[in-house]
Amino acid sequence: MKLVVNHLTYRDSPVEVREKVTFTPEQRHAMLRQMHGRQEIGEAAILQTCNRLEFYLYVKRDFDCRTFLGGLLGPAGSDAVGAWKEHCGEKVGPEAVRHLFEVAAGLDSQMIGENQILAQVKAAYTESLEAHMSKLVFHRLFHNAFRVGKAVRTHTNINCGAVSIALAAVELAREKADLSTAKALIIGAGENAELVARYLAKSGVAGLVIANRDVEKARTMARQFENAKAVGLAEVAAKLDEVDVLISSTASPEHILTRDRVERSLAGRTRPLLIVDIAVPRDIDPALGQFGCVRLFNIDDLDGQIAANRAKRNDEIPKAKVIVEEFVAQFWQWYESLDLVPVISRLTQMGLDLARSEAKRYAKDFGPGGGEKLQSFAESLVKKVLHGPISFIKDGGGEPTAEQLQAIDLVNKMFLSREQNP
């Protein structure tokens, strides 16, 4: 078997590509169910964020992951398949492990050291568990990833300064507008939107409007802030006349604001309207940027703020990578210990060594020539005792099942770890 990650990230694709391969939890669960039905796939997990789509797979060595995943994305349409085939990358073995650990540590994030990614990795693991696609290998892999994320954040200052896309969006707004006299509109009431609201409030924004499809959720969020009120999405276009800054962060699969919907509100406007769209897929129709009063930015336009914050953390990256490498080495040593043939060989040799040692110890009690017979008896007994476990481990002659891998892991813990710690 082999460990593989196939990924499409902000490093190699712009937002207009990434939004073509954005899937709902229901769609990801359907993909995991489809993978569950393939004999070649032992374990799988899907990590989806605004900056990445990654498939982590534990599959047979000759399995063509790229071709399979291209077919898996087929129902999403030709645009999704084309974007995936053109921009996806692949890492195998220790490189795949290192990639996941660096993702969990915040080292592969657009905002280096950001904290949200660790929660997103945990969510991906939970989805995999619910689909029965995380077993022995992924249990170990992802729990190690969680430990890496915690260790890096505990023992380095990798997340000093701005640690979220939400804060980068507010920093951009602060550069482009006087927030002390500005009224801001936030579309969305999720985690990112709430962070935006908190950062705007700390920046002294004059007024705040929170819009969400679920108005009650928007009201709950608005109660946390002074000078804040809540509206439904249907009221957003009418509110544009009142605001100077709009920051949008929802999970909508389509545009929240289109040109047709807001044209009447913006046609006669002369006061600037700053719009920062940090959603993927994008919430704001790019055509709104054609209005003279609108300055429209998306998540890829935050690179300036992100670069400044990344500079503050550069000194911490080498320290973080040392921690990552330690965890990669530990995990890979364990992973290689699951290799069937060496385990059988080492278990057999351990048993025979023990039999010979004990036979030699008691040989003098059996008279001349008795020692050889005692050794033969001891070796025969050990082979018979080990016959059952070894037969179970190598049953079928093909790729080991999850149960066999668990047995191999148990053998390593119960017997073979003594070789390293006598």
How far is residue 75's CA from residue 226's CA, in Å, rounded to a whole number?
46
| Torsion of the alpha carbons at 31, 33, 35 and 40, rounded to the nearest 10 | 180
Q: Which helix (H) or strand (E) holds 57?
A: strand 52-59
How far is residue 124's CA from residue 143's CA, in Å, rounded to a whole number?
12
Q: Which helix (H) or strand (E) holds 45?
A: strand 41-49
Q: Which helix (H) or strand (E) holds 362?
A: helix 340-362
Whether 65 is catalytic? no
Q: Cβ distance 31 to 84 under 8 Å?
A: no
Catalytic residue among 50, 65, 160, 293: 50
How far is residue 81's CA from residue 21's CA, in Å, rounded to a whole number?
8
- 253 SS3 class: coil
Neighbours of 258 (CB within 10 A): 14
The tokens describing 63, both together, are: 């399995």
How far is residue 84's CA from residue 6's CA, in Å, rounded to a whole number?
10
Q: Which helix (H) or strand (E) holds 82?
A: helix 78-87
Residue with token string 């807001």: 262
Instruction: Give me the active site residues, please.
Output: 50
